Amino acid sequence: MVELRNVSFRYGSKGADTVNSLSNVELRVRRGEFVLLTGPSGCGKTTVLRLINGLIPHFYPGVIEGSVTVGGKSVPERELYETAMQVGSVFQNPRSQFYNVDTTGELAFGCENRGLPEDEILERIDGTVERFGIEKLMDKNIFRLSDGEKQKIACASADVGGAEIILLDEPSANLDHETTLALRELIMLWRKQGKTIIAAEHRIAYLWDLIDRAVIMREGRIAKELGGTEKDSLTDGELSAMGLRSITQEAPDGIALPSFKSEDTAITLRDFTFFHPGAKRPTFSIPELRLAAGEITAITGANGAGKTSFLNCLCGLEKRCCGTLEYDGRHYGRRARQKLCFMVMQDTGNQLFTESVLEEVLISLPKGTANEKERAAELLKALDLEGFSERHPQSLSGGQKQRLAIACALASGRKLLLLDEPTSGLDYAHMTETADLLKSLRAMGTTILVVTHDGELIRACCGRKLCFPPDRAEP
Amino acid sequence: MTYSSERSREERRGFLDPRTKLALVLILALFVMGGLGGDQLKPIKTVLSALPFLLLLIERQWGRFARGAAMLAAGYGLLFLMPFLPGVLNYIALLCGGVLTRFVVTVVMGEYLIATTSVSEFISAMERLHMPQAITIPMSVMFRLFPTIGAEWRSIRRAMAMRGISFGGAKATQVLEYQLVPMMTSTVRIGEELSASALTRGLGGPMRRTNICRIGFRAQDCILFAGCLFVIAVWIMELCGVKLW
């Protein structure tokens, strides 16, 4: 059904001296097969998917050697819209894959483009809505949906299109445990219908038992193919040696950690209540909550529970939330908290403003710091960024941006570090790096709160855990 | 009850056809914002100014109505206060009041268009006007991009507040640059991802698109169109020197 024969590819034009993103890739996927592509970040998984759905070379230009065919037809030679009828894609970022503003229009979009008769489109939509059980999401504004709901709509939209081949590019990166399981259900539906599925993923646990074959990639090559019994007998240890994530799908709620121990020094929050604009009921309402100072606390909870809003309130960024924080005998109001907390946001790129990595750290140092430059260089070294001090922050990789943001946090001398989903979309090696970094920050006396769905990260570094919202979960 | 997209499309049909909304935006932009026409058109302009607010009420967009009305009230308030203010404040009030009273109405009409028209309806309307895809597609992306840019903007403002960068500080001159750099990078990235996703779903193919939305002229559209023609007719007559009232 899908065939890549001896494919090498590099982005850019012919003369450009870029490195190969893919080298000599051989991949054959039969009709009805479910293949998982996995491997460390930058190994070429996404590039393979782009070759199959035709975005390479029609949207991302580059030099292809070898042949890519779908259903016997060459993808590079065919027009993109022709491939689009056979291949449906679901992407990683739920915020940027919708063309419409309303959910129903989004489901119809692919079929409308193809010029199918209206009645047939309506019929198809009704069928998908029923099978996926998404009646509640219809006729909604997409900007009001949670990430999990958006991803469901993206899958439903591929389903309405009726493609025989479904490509999934890290669809679970932003999803919580429950929603990931819901995604698994949708994939099982497609399996039952006999669709050909190719998924690129780091978080492999939720689909490990569904796949026929796992293709492990490394530096643009296929390093290993695992099928049948070989796949089933693998242990977590062998997987992490290959740089892969665990295959045990663990609910973060199942990890037993206290949220606060009696011997901990308390950071006490009082009267944290938050309403979304126009909402009648509060997103969360916390009369009192004690957090452990000097520890790493994981904050877990479903998509849409208000975890990110909670971090915003904690940082004093929400004018509508008027709670207080008590720490070390001092009371911090909203304004004061802005100077106490530092948040590493999900979109780290949105919090880096200057033209060079060094300048970014310099503007974070408190005014009048002695030997500014030396101090900044020291911090960059500590975070493994010393070779990058002249680079533009926006040109760094995701992990590097994250470390730069943390360097700024350290430079500003804030006591409380908050991180929003720091490991979404990270491979095993980068996840452990982040965990080690957090542990060393803790050793330096920083209090850390991490909003995360990542069971492995919690196991690797967190000492406390808080289920959000706390009023429901605490006994 | 099972979901029926057939039923929902009837329920969701807008009060006006998108083409009527576009015509109204155009007329308001020319006559109210652009200030076309002289004394004879004054009473007509007053009626025109009330129109977007009326439409917002019909479509139950309470929030937008309140915001627009407040802005307009602020504009007239400033013009009213202006004579009592000293020196420079007088000029500032005149300027702000003038800008608000001129622009708000048309902006509200534009907001009404964007808030109450789905992408599908818009594309469908543009096709019936025989607009080429090269114009329709970029314009339809706007519907999607404005709210996204708004969200990015808020997120960047927050990040700046958290990092302690704000207007009035020693770094005030650089603030704008600080805002624009991440803004542009993320807008470009989102735009690219958006296009990639739309292309994998067959946008831009040579087939004739279909649309599941219901549009078309009804009585209210005809009345408003007649209104638009009337405004233009009065304007032309005024240009020719005909005294109407």
The reply to whether the predicted model has a pTM over 0.80 is yes
For residues B174-183, average pLDDT: 81
Determine the pLDDT at residue B114: 87
| Phi, psi values for residue A319, rounded to 5° | -65, -30
CB distance B201–A143 less than 8 Å?
no
DSSP annotation string for A145-160: S-HHHHHHHHHHHHHH
Reference B78, options B102, B49, B108, B106; nearest CA is B102
What pLDDT, on the 0 to 100 scale, is given for residue B173? Answer: 67
Pairs of residues, one from chain A and one from chain B, whose beta carbons lie less than 8 Å apart? 202
Which position has the token pair 């698109």?
Answer: B209
Residues in A closer than 8 angstroms to B167, CB to CB, are none
Helix (H) or strand (E) holding B9, with range, is helix B5-11
Q: For strand A341-344 and strand A296-300, is the pairing parallel, antiparallel, or unpaired?
A: unpaired
Most B CBs within 10 Å, among A82, A101, A320, to test the B interface: A101
Instruction: Give the nearest partner residue to A345 out of B159, B197, B204, using CB atoms.
Output: B159
3-state helix, strand, coil in chain A (%, to 5): 40, 25, 40
Give pLDDT tens digits for A217-256.
998 999 999 987 888 888 888 888 888 888 888 888 888 8
DSSP string for residues in A183-199: HHHHHHHHHHTT-EEEE
Q: Where along chain B do its domains lie?
A: 15-201+214-236
Instruction: Write out residues in chain A with pLDDT < 50, as ranges.
Output: 472-475
**C-alpha–C-alpha distance, residues A28 and A24, integer Å:** 13
Can you give the pLDDT at residue A473?
42
Reduced to 3 states, what is the DSSP secondary structure of residue B88?
helix
The residue of chain A nearest to residue B201, with distances taken between CA atoms, is: A110
Handedness of CA B62, B65, B68, B72 (dihedral sign): negative
**Is the CB of B194 less than 8 angstroms away from the CB of A394?**
no
Q: In A363-446, which ranges are continuous DSSP H helix?
A: 372-382, 398-412, 428-443
| Token pair belonging to A297 | 């606390």
* Order of strands across the sheet that contains A330-332: A284-292, A266-274, A324-327, A330-332
Using alpha carbons only, how large is chain B's radius of gyration in Å? 22
Alpha-carbon distance of A454 to A460, in angstroms, equals: 10
Name chain A contacts of B170, Cβ cutoff 8 Å: 367
- In chain A the domains, ranked by start, together with CATH numbers, are 2-241 (3.40.50.300), 253-473 (3.40.50.300)
* Distance to chain A for B104, nearest Cα, Å: 23
Contacting A residues, span 122-141, partner chain B, CB-CB under 8 Å? 122, 125-126, 129-130, 135, 138-139
- Tokens 């140092």 sit at which residue? A365
pLDDT for B1 equals 54
Q: How far is CA A128 from the centre of its chain?
A: 26
Contact B9 A104 (CB under 8 A): yes
Q: ipTM score here?
A: 0.84
DSSP-derived pairing of the beta strands A62-70 and A2-11? antiparallel
Q: Do B165 and A363 touch (CB under 8 A)?
A: yes
With a CB-CB cutoff of 8 Å, which residues 10-29 of chain B face chain A?
12
Top residue of B67, B179, B197, B200 to mutate, by most chain A CBs within 10 Å, is B200
pLDDT at residue B166 tops 80: no
Evaluate if residue B170 carries a pLDDT over 60: no
Enter the tokens of residue A48: 């393979």
Distance from CA of A238 to the nearest CA of B (A): 35
Q: Which residue of B has its CA nearest to A359?
A: B178
Tokens of B150: 């708004």
Contacts of A3 by beta carbon, 8 Å cutoff, 6+ apart = A27, A28, A29, A67, A68, A69, A70
Shortest CA distance to A269 belongs to which of A258, A255, A259?
A259
* DSSP structural state of residue A360: H
Q: Which of B13, B201, B208, B213 to mutate to test the interface with A (most CBs of A within 10 A)?
A: B201
pLDDT attached to residue B190: 87
Dist. CA B224–CA B230, nearest whole Å: 10
What is the SS3 string spanning B106-125? Answer: HHHHHHHHHHHCCHHHHHHH
The answer for B 53-112 residues in CB contact with A (under 8 A) is: 63
Contact assessment for residue A169 and residue A89, using Cβ atoms and an 8 Å cutoff = yes
Whether the Cβ atoms of residue A343 and residue A418 lie closer than 8 Å to each other:
yes
Strand-pairing partners, residue A73, are: A70
Instruction: Say how far residue B133 (Cα) sits from the centre of its chain.
Output: 21
Average pLDDT of every residue of chain B: 87
